[in-house]
Amino acid sequence: MRTHPINSRHSVAFSLDRHGGLLMDTALYFPYMRVPETPWFSQVLLYWDEVATIVPSGATNLSPFMRGLQDVEMLKLINPDTDFPELSSAIFADGFFQVLGDRSGGPRTKCTSPIHTGKMTWSVFSELDKRGLAVSDRGGFGYRVETNTADLYMAYLASVMSGLRGRMLPVTDRQASMATFDPSNRPLEARLAALRYVVVTEALPTPRGQVAPSELRSFKDQNADKLRRCRHYLDGILAELADVEDAEMRRVRLLSASSAIADDVATLQEQMDRRRWPGVALGGFGAIAGAALGAAAAAAAGGSALAMGLGASAGI
């Protein structure tokens, strides 16, 4: 572990691999193949070392925005079929049905959501079909799965994939997907992931409107140290706060810590303004420490889907 100074009073630990190279943190977007063209996703692109989304072979519905991100090497397409052969194991399927059983499938709806065949093995689909929770999508390349079950499955899939590869964090901007995580069981690692996700998306500046992939790439290259330093510093603070139960204490500690990256945040905002990007949004630590923190920490990475997904990945 090597440290990189932020200022005379604070430092941040960077993780290095055995060759001395900086280990990469990857944000894995779910539940859709298409990534959103929103300020939230621009923020993820800027502050995470790598960003990926789950795209099976044969999927052709990539948006021009996604192709642009691929061209400037800001988006990785991960194919479950070829990149994660472990997903065909019985442990993967058993883990999902254990989660599904714990929740009794959630409140069932008459609505269904599509899931590509490359994201769900036949054994999982077959069992869901027997339970009346899925049917073949005759007009497409996948299955139609009862919506709450589909949300749970995609959260579980992203968690298993993250656990198998390491240094990967499932991220989503979809409230229904966040709600699949059961807050009743919150291990320390899951709480840290939730806090990290919320703080980065609330505390660090991002353009309010859409910015071309080439512009995002240029800005990220020119400000790589500041972008990484801000997020890694927050990671260090959050590691200390993950086991703090009292919301007010978290708020006070986050507020006192904000001064450590104030200069970097101000510089990033100024650089964004100079590029005449469509405004710069900044939630600030106050927004994080309020009700949003407790709600998002409970929903985003709290329990069964994430914990069971990580458990299944360890078993595999």
Segments in 30-89 forming alpha helices (H): 39-47, 64-71, 80-83
Dihedral sign (CA 273, 275, 276, 280) = negative
Nearest to 12 by CA among 314, 261, 213: 261
Residue 184 corresponds to which tokens in the numbers above?
């009743």
pLDDT on residue 142: 85
Planar angle of CA 105, 173, 248, nearest 5 degrees: 95
User: Taking a C-beta distance cutoff of 8 angstroms, is the pair 233, 13 a contact?
Assistant: no
Q: Which helix (H) or strand (E) holds 281?
A: strand 280-281
CA 282 to CA 294: how far, in whole Å?
Answer: 19
User: Taking a C-beta distance cutoff of 8 angstroms, is the pair 23, 12 a contact?
Assistant: no
Summarised one tens digit per residue, pLDDT across range 187-236 is 555 555 555 555 555 667 888 888 999 999 999 999 998 888 887 776 66
CA 260 to CA 251: how far, in whole Å?
Answer: 15
pTM of the model: 0.76
Q: Is 200 exposed, middle or buried (0-12, 13-18, 19+ CB in 10 A)?
A: buried
pLDDT on residue 303: 42
pLDDT on residue 133: 92
Amino acid at 122: W
pLDDT on residue 190: 54
CA 199 to CA 245: how far, in whole Å?
Answer: 16
Residue 37 corresponds to which tokens in the numbers above?
């063209």
Q: Which residues in the chain land under pLDDT 50?
A: 1-23, 104-106, 181-186, 284-304, 306
